[in-house]
Chain A
Amino acid sequence: MSPSDSSPHPLLKVRDLSVSFASETGDVRAVRGLSYEVRPSEILAIVGESGSGKSVSSLAVMGLLPGNAKINARELVFKGQDLLSITPAAMRALRGREIGMIFQDPVTALNPVLTIGEQITEPLKLHMGMSESQARARAQELLTLVGISDAPSRLDQYPHQFSGGMRQRVMIAIGLSCNPRLLIADEPTTALDVTIQAQILELMQDLCRRLGVALVIITHNLGVVARYADRVLVMYGGRMLECGTTATVLQQPRHLYTAGLLSSVPSLDSPLVGRLAAIEGSPPDPRRWPEGCAFAPRCPHAQSACRGETPVQTTDVGSVSACVRAPEMAAGTLSWTPLHSGRHTVAAPARRAADKGSLVELRDLEKTFSVRRGLWSKTAEVKAVGGVHLSIARGETIGVVGESGCGKSTLGRLLLRLEEPSAGTILFRGQDITHLRDHQLRDFRRQAQVVFQDPFSSLNPRQRISDIISEPMRVHGLVKSRAEAREQTLQLLNLVGLREDHADRFAHQLSGGQRQRIAIARALAMRPDFIVCDEAVSALDVSIQAQVVNLLSDLQQQLHLSYFFIGHDLAVVRQIATRVVVMYLGRIVEVAERDAFYRQPLHPYAQALMSAIPSVSDAAGTRRTLIPIRGEPPSPMAPPSGCAFRTRCPHAMPECAQQVPALREVAPGQQVACLKFA
């Protein structure tokens, strides 16, 4: 439980923190007057979208900002020490000793040329004056503490010999090495798979509680906030908008932005809505903040008062909010309703039922990559996808989930013939396309399109938007003249919710969400029947993600498209999919109708996956029990015999090692590959 709000001695006290960066196009005021406190052994979450200033404010506390940053604050006090007037040497003595930090990407955060042991023992020798052997003994202790077995030999290994999850455990060990009072974790699990995310967050929560360390988690994931934080601080536009205990803020938000954010997040267990109540628009430019409340330009309930000063005030539920309309929210006379703009005012037609006939059919599809390790060793076969049977109906959305390396992206690429299948058949509209060549293949390509994850690297930076969209139409001869291509392009821009003047811009002039809309428009330019969305919304901020998910649903309604939607967020998949496919190590372990699946997943892996996802509703105390899933996925180079999941399965039986279980229907609309149901 969180300590009382009136704790006399906060560990960290921040008053009116402002950070700006000098740049050629004017000062970027990343943080503007941020105030908060962290009390001993509490877990505070700072939540916000990219550009909200959440990471910058924490790096400012650590004194880790680059030289062009200007930091101002009325108070910046850690354990009674003023961090503003402290000497660099004294600040260094605090860093790593009293304040530990964990970064987002464990792959880049560890030095590739130093051993894990050197990296863990360094702060011990530096701050605690330990000898080499003392430090090594402590490092072994730390590795065991963070759940890495065989510590003595692991200490002499290098970071590349550790998986992502293991590296993050090492980062935690480094962060905790000198028994700090405060640990700052900047998006500690964003780069990790959900089952690993759950392991890491449980570990951090447990250790901080046991060792009495205060934890600041910086995150964009409201589910993580709900499950792990005592208090939450919501940031937007460099300012704090709302702060209070987690349960209060998430259940009784008193800022319209918080409310909007909460309704943008698809959930695992609340009743399904046709469209997410998304926040329209995109975050403001940090060089030109709007007057008053930074959220006002996107807020459907903004008033003239929102353009003036919006002081932070205590609300009826004990939280603090900078929303001028907080009293009305308290009185229940105002709640978040999304702004429906443009064509969205038309009521969405009822979800059309998927057609009976299948558009795409996969029969025993298999993809094997050969990997050579060294000159003399024989080539190893890695089965990326094995024995996949699946049919996709017209107008249906298959949601594919699984952790990295499970083969879901490879399967998507196989469907598009971007990858040659090693065995099996792909039927498209009943025609065998497994071995199509040349113009037949090109004709197929027109009908099956793809939207990739990263809207920053998948658009050519030197092409104008209009060229990006019209090029495929011209290549496939879908338009006769430039004028016709232009006209179609403008129509497509309109369809994906962009303005006509976007046509003459370059990709770098657009935001992430807008770029992803361009990628969708480019796919739609071919008037396809089938689109593979490979993690198409995973890189987007919560509010933008909701917009794009809504857009995909709307387009499906209008154009009767089929989607193969690859994702790792089960809640997003629930929002868009009609059927769900769960993959593990190249094989499908469960295929089920959406509603049946989310009511009760049957495969032990699907159950574990589902329970690992932190959900906003966890804040209400209705936390689903976490099914512990041990360890990490095995290497696809040496998959376990029989059922690949048996090494991590809580229900594994000796028989599981004997044979690969086949998919069989165990409940209406629910097929599972598990011997438990045989």
Chain B
Amino acid sequence: MITLLVKRSLQFVFTLWAVATLIFFMLRVLPGDPIEFKYLSEGGSVAAEQLQAQKARFGYDRPVHEQYIRWVGGLTRMDLGISVWSENPITEEIRSRFGITFQLAVVALFIGLLLAIPLGVASALTRGTWLDQLIRVSTVSGQSIPSFWMAMLVILALLSTTGWIPSIQEARFTEQPMEYLAQLFFPALVVGWRLSAVNARLLRSSLLDVLGQDYVRTAHAKGVPGSRVIWRHALGNALLPTVTVVGIEFAGLLGGLVVTEQVFNINGIGRLLIQAISYNDLALIQGLVMLFSLIFVTVNFAVDIVYALLDPRVRVH
């Protein structure tokens, strides 16, 4: 287990460094300068010296390799630089918006798994019946309908039936738990539904596979009741591939958050990313991409650990 942790930690650091390097150079290759964009777009005009002074202030006048070293050096000190557009430290910008997005992601993940496990199990156990067909059709639609469209459908449905959509950022979980959950529920449902679709389908096929295994027959031969065979003997094995996919699909969940926040008008880091891109705010884009990578890598790190806990064969003894 220790070896596994050490190995994964090294991979963790390496992956983040690689992402930092890639995003830095990719943004440098693209045309457009954040300072010029801020001061010269929409017909603005600023003196060349002033522009130069602004560039110097944010460090965009330095040679690319120096900028790179500053960027990576800053990362090691948790310093992501300063946003050109808002002129605030990027860590501040993220901190003020991270909470809502994090809450949304957790609720979405929770909804996703809460839907996926019963749907997948029900689908596998009723294989070939109308229920199985229904679940499979709905999970295919979950996978194929884009999040933003789904989000708009949900808003339309809410407006036309209740005339109400939950407003965001009013309730706190500690004070008004029901309102808090209500405001997060619909955006989280949109994001989580997609995750559940992938996992329900995967769980269905892996459970069917596991139910044909010899050790399931052994459990039946021991006289274990059918429901216990499924929950105790089969599900633990069937969930293994699902756990891996949760890690991979988390990237999709983050992507879903970016657009869903936009549609539901939630001022989270997803929306911040879209703003950063539209303002060509390089440092902010870099910082947010790093944040998303950090989350993604952390989740997959956690998935590896969970996998090892679920599957004794992976543990190193």
Contact = CB atoms under 8 A, between A and B. Distances in A.
- The answer to whether A and B come from one shared complex is yes
Interface in A615-672: none
Contact of B225 (A92, A97, A114): A92
B313 A122 contact: no
A130 interface: no
A158 B311 CA distance: 10
Interface string A223-250: 0000000000000000000000000000
Given A374-B316, A375-B3, A375-B6, A110 B215 contact: yes
A62 B220 CA distance: 9
B214 A105 contact: yes
B310 interface: yes
Interface in B285-317: 310-313, 316-317
B226 to A, nearest CB: 8
Given A113-B237, A113-B311, A375-B7, A95 B218 contact: no
Contact of B313 (A108, A112, A171, A174): A112
A374 B223 CA distance: 40
B67 interface: no
B311 A376 contact: no
B220 A95 contact: yes
A94 B223 contact: yes
B217 A64 contact: yes
Interface in A188-204: none
Interface residues of B, number: 25
A114 B223 contact: no
Given A96-B222, A108-B214, A123-B223, A160 B312 contact: yes
B233 A126 contact: no
A563 interface: no
A171 B220 CA distance: 14
B223 A93 contact: yes
Interface string B202-242: 00000000000111011111111100000011001100000
Contact of A158 (B7, B215, B233, B312): B312
Nearest to A101: B221
B217 A103 contact: yes
Interface in A10-57: none
Nearest to B225: A92
Q: How large is the interface on A (under 10, 10 to 19, 20 to 34, 35 or more residues)?
A: 20 to 34
Contacts of A122: 219, 222, 224
Contacts of A110: 215, 218
Interface in B1-42: 3, 6-7
Contacts of A62: 221
Contact of B215 (A101, A112, A160): A112
Contact of B218 (A97, A109, A161): A109
A111 interface: yes
Given A113-B310, A160-B313, A126 B237 contact: no
Interface string A296-330: 00000000000000000000000000000000000
Contacts of A112: 215, 237, 311-313
A123 B223 CA distance: 7
Contacts of A373: 316
Contacts of A111: 215, 218-219, 233, 236-237
Contacts of A464: none
A111 B240 CA distance: 13
A103 B214 contact: yes
Contacts of A95: 220-223
Contact of B223 (A105, A127, A158): A127
B213 A108 contact: yes
Contacts of A103: 214, 217-218, 221
Task: Give the most central of B3, B213, B217, B223: most A CB within 10 Å.
Answer: B223
B6 A114 contact: no
A308 B104 CA distance: 76
Nearest to A88: B226
Given A112-B311, A114-B236, A126 B222 contact: yes
Nearest to A111: B215
A112 B233 CA distance: 9
Contacts of A123: 222-224
Interface in A95-143: 95-97, 100-101, 103, 105, 108-115, 122-123, 126-127
A25 B98 CA distance: 60
Nearest to A91: B223
Contacts of A96: 221-224
Contacts of B214: 103, 105, 108-109
Contacts of B6: 375-376
A376 B6 CA distance: 10
A122 B218 CA distance: 12
Task: Give the most central of B218, B221, B232: most A CB within 10 Å.
Answer: B221
Given A122-B222, A126-B222, A374 B3 contact: yes
A114 B220 CA distance: 15
Contacts of B3: 374-377
Contact of B233 (A94, A114, A161, A376): A114
Contacts of A127: 223
Contacts of A376: 3, 6
Nearest to A93: B223
B1 to A, nearest CB: 11
A218 B228 CA distance: 29
Nearest to B212: A66
Contacts of A101: 218, 221
Contacts of A109: 214-215, 217-218
Contacts of B313: 112, 158, 160
Interface string B136-166: 0000000000000000000000000000000
Contacts of A374: 3, 316
Contacts of A158: 312-313
A674 B15 CA distance: 56
Contacts of A174: 218, 222
Contacts of B312: 112-113, 115, 158, 160
Task: Give the most central of B3, B218, B224: most A CB within 10 Å.
Answer: B218
Contacts of A97: 223
Contacts of A171: 218
A160 B311 CA distance: 11
A465 B17 CA distance: 53
A80 B293 CA distance: 67
Interface of B: 3, 6-7, 213-215, 217-225, 232-233, 236-237, 310-313, 316-317
26 contacts: A64-B221, A92-B223, A92-B224, A93-B223, A96-B224, A97-B223, A100-B221, A105-B214, A108-B214, A109-B215, A109-B217, A109-B218, A110-B215, A111-B218, A112-B312, A113-B236, A113-B311, A113-B312, A114-B233, A114-B236, A122-B219, A122-B222, A126-B224, A127-B223, A158-B312, A375-B6
Given A64-B217, A95-B221, 11 more contacts: A64-B221, A103-B217, A103-B218, A108-B213, A108-B215, A111-B219, A113-B236, A113-B311, A126-B223, A374-B3, A374-B316
The 7 closest A-B pairs by CB, nearest first: A96-B223, A96-B222, A95-B223, A108-B214, A158-B312, A101-B221, A111-B215
